[in-house]
A and B are shown apart, each in its own frame.
Chain A
Amino acid sequence: MKEAKKKKPETSIGVSISALGAFSVYLITGLFLAVGFWVVRDKYSVDLISDPSLTLRLLWIIEFPIVVIIYSLFRRNPEKCSYFRAVGRSILGLISGALINALGAVSLGAPIGMQSLPKTIHWSFLMSVFTVVPATAVFGASWADWHRVFASLKPTGNIEYMILIPAYGATIGGWFGAWPMPLDWERPWQEWPICVCYGAIGGYIVGQMVSLSLMILLRKHKSLKLA
């Protein structure tokens, strides 16, 4: 087990990334999220509250390419797996991730009427971009890596922190985002999936920050250990 761990950084991680690199990746993804919101507001003059399904669709359509483009650079085994293959498999990952997210949301109590179906679909695509797509771009179908990172929570290397923590952050943020929904404030943002979206985006950003600080902390820790 230990040997395998030692081996992995050498062979399977194609491009390693520094904390600064991770920061710039986060900056770019955050920027594109902001661009998405800007496009929605200025070009289509709607927002999350007035037209959630259109907004969510635009958001994930804008966010998805940038996430794929960036994370495919860090794919495992770059010598065996071409860049375009990574892009291709992350499209598959997008769809299956959306399915998983949608099922999870429905089992937690998302409305299942016909009129909320498009909202649920686009919400789960966005969640998929946050959670599953980076992992598919990097790991592909390597079940062992998935299992190690997501189920056993044993990430190694900065790129795995970058995949794991924001994904969990988005999920947990979405979970907490559902809490205001039953309240009788009668605000428009209490509708499904608006506050869940806000929660997920917030959790995603918090996750990014946590992963950044973890990277910095762990690097210092390592260097201390080495010294």
Chain B
Amino acid sequence: METYLKNKKLTALGFLLIHAIAILIFTRGFLLTRTELPFHSTCSDVSLSPCLASPRSNHDSSSGQSNQTQPKCWTKPVVDRVIIIVLDALRIDFVAPSAFFPEPKPWMDKLTILQKLAFANESSAKIFKAFADPPTTSLQRLKGLTTGGLPTFIDVGNSFGAPAIVEDNFINQLVLNGKRLVMMGDDTWTQLFPNQFQKSYPFPSFNVKDLDTVDNGCIEHLFPTLFKDDWDVLIAHFLGVDHAGHIFGVDSSPMINKLEQYNSVLEKVINILESQAGPGGLHENTMLIVMGDHGQTLNGDHGGGTAEEVETTMFAMSTKKHTTLVPPEFDTSSCKQNKDGNQMCISYIEQLDFAATLSALLGISFPFGSIGHVNPELYALGSSSWNLDKSDLGNSGTQSAANEWMKHYVDVLCVNAWQVKRYIDVYSNSSVVGFSSDDMSRISDLYSAAEQNWSNSVKHILMDRNGDDGSTDISALLKEQIAEYLNFFSSVVELARSKWTEFNLNLMITGFGILVISLILQFLAVFHGDNSYAVGSWLSTGAAFTLFIVTIRACSFLSNSYILEEGKVANFLLATTGLIKLRYSVMRKTMRKEAFMFLAMVFVLRVSIDIGLTKQAATSQFMSSSPSWMLGIAPDHPALTYAIEIAPILSVLILICVLYVAIAKAPNEGVWKYVTVSSMLLQVTGGRNRIPQTVYVIGLVQLCLLASARMFCTEKDKNWAIRTVALVSACSSPVILLSGKQGSMLALVYLVAGYCIMRLEGVERRTKSDGQSKFSKLNPLCVVQWSLLSICMFFASGHWCAFDGLRYGAAFVGFDEFVLIRQAILLTIETFGFSIILSVFGLPLLIPVHSQTPQAHGEKRHQLFQMYMLFGVISATTVTATILCVTIQRRHLMVWGLFAPKFVFDVVGLILTDLLICLASAYYL
């Protein structure tokens, strides 16, 4: 018998391990993680690079365009001011001419001013097709644009809760280099960069139905600011197109109105810039960039990785007139003829390169974690200013000007390559999951080849600097060098993308497969040693219904809507089981009171879940509104506030009475009783106490006491009920304390509902035949009810499966300073306290207390083990379903907003459940 039970304990441990391995493997494939490095680039870093060999100061003086007055950082600044206008969710076909698309649509060709400027002769403006890396949500994109990296779902190193970017970024570099920033529009910017802006005019962005507040605020501040000289970089973020897409879709009149409004705004902006563009004017050397942060589908959704979502656009214009000098080898533009036969060209850029290119243009150090390269065409728009005077030399002059430009560009690329290589090296050394050594050596080879070439061609440039007529020889050398660098960059980006943006489907499927196998094993474990009962009894209505409920719940995770309303769904199913039980109790003419009480408790939970949903709807971007459930009582009615004050105290008192009754029934049970009594005392203080630390300490001491009692007096106690009560009461006081005011009420509801489940446990059985004679069989339906109840408790206690649903405040109950482990434990207790900790430890309460004979004890142990296994199977099934759905929906629009948080919560819940089942089976069996 003892070895048998030992095996059982090992079984629980085994499942914990299997689940952990499966989840680890799956997570490696699914949850792309990236470590944020705390390093920052500084101007002096560049002395470490090989590029210092370039005698740039001499070079500058020789070209007659000395910028010695301005301290140079990494590269020579080529534009003075930058205006970045971000139009959220700007699709490529809003800007590019309709000739580029199979058929013209009503929303195309609305931003005519941009097209007119870009396709005019002698233009210093260009339209780019910009590629945004998924996840295409505004926050991740802004982070990607400013850091020049590839933000993933979990950027390890994120600050606790606050979204501010701690990684080195373009905005930060601007501030370090003494540039002055002005921001207006979407308040996401001020969340990401709380202190960096000298002036900011943020407007709330979360109300999707509001198309105009942010835009009007932007417009109101944009035009006056354009006439001021107290800024170097201006950021204006318009949200109207994004919101119009979300509400009305792309093919709608509000969208077209928005685009027309933007056209007139942009026209006005460009007029102001051109009027000030003369020598000595405010905008003598200003660059205007109009860009989208991501695209959108025709329904206005974004977040995923489809072509419509990742293809956005960028328009760049310099106020200095010149002709573009990019050699054809590095020209990525694709051209079409318009109706009048004019050539229209659109270039290509990756948003990844934005931070590096703008840093190069403004002459600041590149963000430390940027893996982009300086885009030749965008760089050429600004950088040709210094060789403008040479371009009037005719054909050979153009040639030498091109060489001159390439010299600059290759110089910039050298610094850029050095910076990217440094980041990759540092990342690989410091990150937990770095790059593989093969990849690293390949990249190092490419880099050293380019470097080799560089030191050769540097000499040529050095030699040829004085004789200024550039030969084709130099030009070829430079082109070769640029090509080598670009090759290096593209392989780095390819590696980074495969690491940070692509799911590893093999790992995901392996993890899922292991989980399915463990599920089957666990299912068999439920039956193990269950020979006395024929399989036929398992195919009873109860078992079939259990299977039905679990399957329905599992399938419901396929839809994002059901995940959003998971609490309601669980409650619906719980109420259904309650109604079934009611039917049986009416049929058997017993326990009708309990059945009705159970339904009443379900109703209370349901109201509580509704309240939780309203909280969720306030912050969630996916839930528009929640139905009003209030019965028309004003929330600040005195009677109501009084009731809110008094109810927790009342329910604590009732809880204590229940505990008292529970221990009064069972005499001479030593330690268990003392623990329970002390819990009672604790709850009196716990509800209102100012010293929660005491509660934690006493809770811990109680648990230790229980564990030691279990170890030293195994033989005496045959009664679990009292042991369970002791354990649950010891756990409950911290949980109730952390849950705040509602905690004690929910605990009471939980207790009553659990009692009803226990009483109704055998109601559908034909009571007379096997209820008393034999020991009662395991009833799967009541375990399902218990598990559904625990899920309802999770939602009813005001949680939901999203990171903004975590109650960070609870982590600081009783503590002021932040210690990661301690606060994480408190947060876990608060989040999963009711739904997992109490429900796993309280499971033995479901075993009805009829017979106390010794031989029944062994049976009971077996039954308890089965119940734990069944509970484990039910949790594992839902998690497996979640994992399957996440795998299927990995390209879904809401994968990062909804499925991934749900996955994280479920997985953490499953591991915790397994762990607690291990502990519980060690304690009870």
Footprint of B on A, CB under 8 Å? 104, 106-109, 111-116, 147, 151-152, 175, 178, 182-184
Q: Which of A108, A147, A184 contacts B587 (CB 8 A)?
A: A147
CA distance A156 to B602 in the complex (A): 35
A182 x B565 contact (CB < 8 A): yes
Q: Which of B561, B562, B627, B632 contacts A111 (CB 8 A)?
A: B627
Considering the complex, give the chain B residue whose CB is closest to the CB of A148: B587
Q: Which of B559, B575, B631 contacts A112 (CB 8 A)?
A: B631
Q: Which of A107, A147, A182, A184 contacts B568 (CB 8 A)?
A: A182
A107 x B602 contact (CB < 8 A): yes
CA distance A114 to B586 in the complex (A): 32
Considering the complex, give the chain A residue whose CB is closest to the CB of B567: A109
CA distance A184 to B569 in the complex (A): 14
Q: Quick check: is B642 within 8 A (CB to CB) of the other chain?
A: no
A107 x B569 contact (CB < 8 A): no
Say yes or no: A113-B606 contact (C-beta < 8 A), given A107-B599, A182-B561: no
Say yes or no: A113-B569 contact (C-beta < 8 A), given A107-B602, A182-B561: no
For the A-B complex, the count of residue pairs with Cβ-Cβ distances under 8 Å equals 53
A114 x B572 contact (CB < 8 A): no
Known contacts A107-B603, A115-B628, A184-B561; 9 additional CB pairs below 8 A are A106-B603, A107-B579, A109-B571, A109-B572, A112-B629, A113-B628, A113-B631, A175-B576, A182-B562
B583 x A151 contact (CB < 8 A): yes
CA distance A109 to B574 in the complex (A): 11
CA distance A10 to B822 in the complex (A): 77
Q: Quick check: is B332 within 8 A (CB to CB) of the other chain?
A: no
Say yes or no: A109-B568 contact (C-beta < 8 A), given A182-B561, A184-B560: yes
In the complex, 26 of the A-B residue pairs with CB atoms within 8 angstroms, ordered by the A residue number, are A104-B579, A107-B575, A108-B576, A108-B579, A109-B568, A109-B572, A109-B575, A111-B629, A112-B607, A113-B627, A113-B629, A113-B630, A113-B631, A114-B631, A115-B628, A147-B586, A147-B587, A151-B583, A151-B587, A152-B587, A178-B572, A182-B564, A182-B565, A182-B568, A184-B561, A184-B564
Q: Quick check: is B578 within 8 A (CB to CB) of the other chain?
A: yes
Chain B residues in 8 Å Cβ range of A107: 575, 578-579, 599, 602-603, 606
Considering the complex, give the chain B residue whose CB is closest to the CB of A114: B632
Considering the complex, give the chain A residue whose CB is closest to the CB of B565: A182
CA distance A180 to B676 in the complex (A): 46
Say yes or no: A151-B603 contact (C-beta < 8 A), given A108-B572, A111-B627: no
CA distance A106 to B562 in the complex (A): 19
| Secondary structure type dominating chain B contacts | helix
The smallest C-beta distance from B559 to any residue of chain A, in angstroms, reads 6
CA distance A115 to B631 in the complex (A): 9
B583 x A108 contact (CB < 8 A): no
CA distance A109 to B565 in the complex (A): 11
CA distance A116 to B627 in the complex (A): 10
Chain A residues in 8 Å Cβ range of B622: 184
Chain A residues in 8 Å Cβ range of B586: 147, 151
Chain B residues in 8 Å Cβ range of A116: 627
CA distance A125 to B843 in the complex (A): 40
- The 3 A-B pairs of least Cβ separation, nearest first, read A151-B587, A182-B565, A183-B561
B606 x A109 contact (CB < 8 A): yes
Chain A residues in 8 Å Cβ range of B564: 182, 184
Considering the complex, give the chain A residue whose CB is closest to the CB of B569: A182
The smallest C-beta distance from A168 to any residue of chain B, in angstroms, reads 11
CA distance A227 to B575 in the complex (A): 48
Interface centre among B561, B564, B622, B630 (most CB of A within 10 A): B561
CA distance A86 to B241 in the complex (A): 65
Chain B residues in 8 Å Cβ range of A182: 561-562, 564-565, 568-569
CA distance A107 to B561 in the complex (A): 21
Chain A residues in 8 Å Cβ range of B630: 113
Chain A residues in 8 Å Cβ range of B559: 183
The smallest C-beta distance from B624 to any residue of chain A, in angstroms, reads 9
Say yes or no: A108-B575 contact (C-beta < 8 A), given A113-B629, A114-B632, A151-B583: yes
Considering the complex, give the chain B residue whose CB is closest to the CB of A104: B579
Please report which residues of chain B, range 474-501, place their CB below 8 angstroms from some CB of chain A when the two chains form the complex: none
The smallest C-beta distance from B150 to any residue of chain A, in angstroms, reads 30
CA distance A104 to B578 in the complex (A): 10
Interface centre among A111, A113, A114, A182 (most CB of B within 10 A): A182
Considering the complex, give the chain B residue whose CB is closest to the CB of A175: B576
Please encode chain B, from 628 to 649, with 1 for each CB lying within 8 Å of some chain A CB and 0 for all others: 1111100000000000000000
The smallest C-beta distance from A96 to any residue of chain B, in angstroms, reads 15
Chain B residues in 8 Å Cβ range of A151: 583, 586-587
CA distance A108 to B572 in the complex (A): 5
Chain B residues in 8 Å Cβ range of A111: 627, 629
The smallest C-beta distance from B621 to any residue of chain A, in angstroms, reads 13
Chain A residues in 8 Å Cβ range of B602: 107
The smallest C-beta distance from A169 to any residue of chain B, in angstroms, reads 16
The smallest C-beta distance from A52 to any residue of chain B, in angstroms, reads 14
CA distance A109 to B570 in the complex (A): 10
The smallest C-beta distance from A5 to any residue of chain B, in angstroms, reads 18
The smallest C-beta distance from B691 to any residue of chain A, in angstroms, reads 40
CA distance A112 to B611 in the complex (A): 12
The smallest C-beta distance from B572 to any residue of chain A, in angstroms, reads 5
CA distance A32 to B629 in the complex (A): 35
The smallest C-beta distance from A173 to any residue of chain B, in angstroms, reads 14
Chain A residues in 8 Å Cβ range of B632: 114
The smallest C-beta distance from B916 to any residue of chain A, in angstroms, reads 29
The smallest C-beta distance from A139 to any residue of chain B, in angstroms, reads 15
The smallest C-beta distance from A24 to any residue of chain B, in angstroms, reads 31
Considering the complex, give the chain B residue whose CB is closest to the CB of A153: B587
Chain B residues in 8 Å Cβ range of A175: 576
Chain B residues in 8 Å Cβ range of A106: 603
Considering the complex, give the chain B residue whose CB is closest to the CB of A178: B572
Chain A residues in 8 Å Cβ range of B569: 182
Chain B residues in 8 Å Cβ range of A147: 586-587
CA distance A189 to B560 in the complex (A): 19
Chain A residues in 8 Å Cβ range of B583: 151
CA distance A178 to B576 in the complex (A): 12
CA distance A108 to B574 in the complex (A): 8
Please encode chain B, from 565 to 607, with 1 for each CB lying within 8 Å of some chain A CB and 0 for all others: 1001101100110110001001100000000000100110011
The smallest C-beta distance from B56 to any residue of chain A, in angstroms, reads 58
Please report which residues of chain B, range 532-558, place their CB below 8 angstroms from some CB of chain A when the two chains form the complex: none
Chain A residues in 8 Å Cβ range of B587: 147, 151-152
The smallest C-beta distance from B760 to any residue of chain A, in angstroms, reads 15
Considering the complex, give the chain B residue whose CB is closest to the CB of A112: B629
Considering the complex, give the chain B residue whose CB is closest to the CB of A190: B561
Considering the complex, give the chain A residue whose CB is closest to the CB of B563: A182
The smallest C-beta distance from A174 to any residue of chain B, in angstroms, reads 12
The smallest C-beta distance from A38 to any residue of chain B, in angstroms, reads 31
Please encode chain B, from 237 to 253, with 1 for each CB lying within 8 Å of some chain A CB and 0 for all others: 00000000000000000
CA distance A116 to B630 in the complex (A): 11
The smallest C-beta distance from B301 to any residue of chain A, in angstroms, reads 11
Considering the complex, give the chain A residue whose CB is closest to the CB of B578: A107
The smallest C-beta distance from A135 to any residue of chain B, in angstroms, reads 14
CA distance A182 to B609 in the complex (A): 14
CA distance A183 to B562 in the complex (A): 7
Considering the complex, give the chain A residue whose CB is closest to the CB of B622: A184
CA distance A147 to B589 in the complex (A): 10
CA distance A182 to B613 in the complex (A): 13
CA distance A178 to B622 in the complex (A): 21
Chain B residues in 8 Å Cβ range of A109: 568, 571-572, 575, 606
Considering the complex, give the chain B residue whose CB is closest to the CB of A105: B575
Chain B residues in 8 Å Cβ range of A152: 587
Chain A residues in 8 Å Cβ range of B607: 112
Considering the complex, give the chain A residue whose CB is closest to the CB of B568: A109
